[in-house]
């Protein structure tokens, strides 16, 4: 089992808009019988305007497979339209779940 985090640093003041997009994407994922991401936002720390998505996967091969499946859906594409305009930078963290 692997836990994957997408850590996104948003444009100033845009984290709320990005949260709305990922909530809408989560709704699409639930309609597809998929577990949605957990969504976190920063309370304090550096940098400001950080959003974190977290999800567990059975294997590393499941990560791109899920992304392809979800983003092939027109509802997901619509929900994420304009996503890149809200993000400054990002990174992916992958952890092996030990217990």
Range of the domain at 38: 11-43
Distance separating alpha carbons of residues 45 and 88, to the nearest angstrom: 17
pLDDT at residue 34 in the model = 96
Q: Is 98 inside any structural domain?
A: no
pLDDT at residue 29 in the model = 97
Average pLDDT for the chain: 96
Q: Is 78 inside any structural domain?
A: no
Q: Is 16 inside any structural domain?
A: yes
Domains identified in the chain, total number = 1
Q: Is 28 inside any structural domain?
A: yes
Distance separating alpha carbons of residues 93 and 18, to the nearest angstrom: 19
pLDDT tens digits, 45-86: 888 999 999 999 999 999 999 999 999 999 999 999 999 999
Q: What is the CA radius of gyration of the chain?
A: 14
Q: Is 26 inside any structural domain?
A: yes
Best CA proximity match to 2, nearest among 43, 53, 38, 56 = 56
pLDDT at residue 15 in the model = 96
Residues 6+ apart with CB under 8 A from 13: 49
Confidence tier at 3 by pLDDT (50, 70, 90):
very high
Distance separating alpha carbons of residues 50 and 62, to the nearest angstrom: 25
Q: Is 27 inside any structural domain?
A: yes
pLDDT at residue 45 in the model = 81
């Amino acid at each position: 089992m692997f836990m994957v985090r997408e850590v996104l640093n948003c444009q100033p003041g845009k984290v709320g808009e990005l949260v709305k997009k990922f909530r809408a994407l989560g709704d699409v994922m639930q309609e597809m019988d998929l577990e949605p991401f957990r969504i976190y936002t920063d309370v304090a720390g550096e940098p400001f305007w950080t959003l974190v998505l977290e999800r567990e996967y059975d294997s590393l091969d499941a990560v791109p497979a899920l992304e392809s499946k979800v983003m092939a859906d027109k509802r997901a594409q619509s929900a994420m339209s304009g996503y890149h305009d809200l993000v400054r930078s990002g990174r992916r963290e992958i952890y092996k779940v030990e217990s």
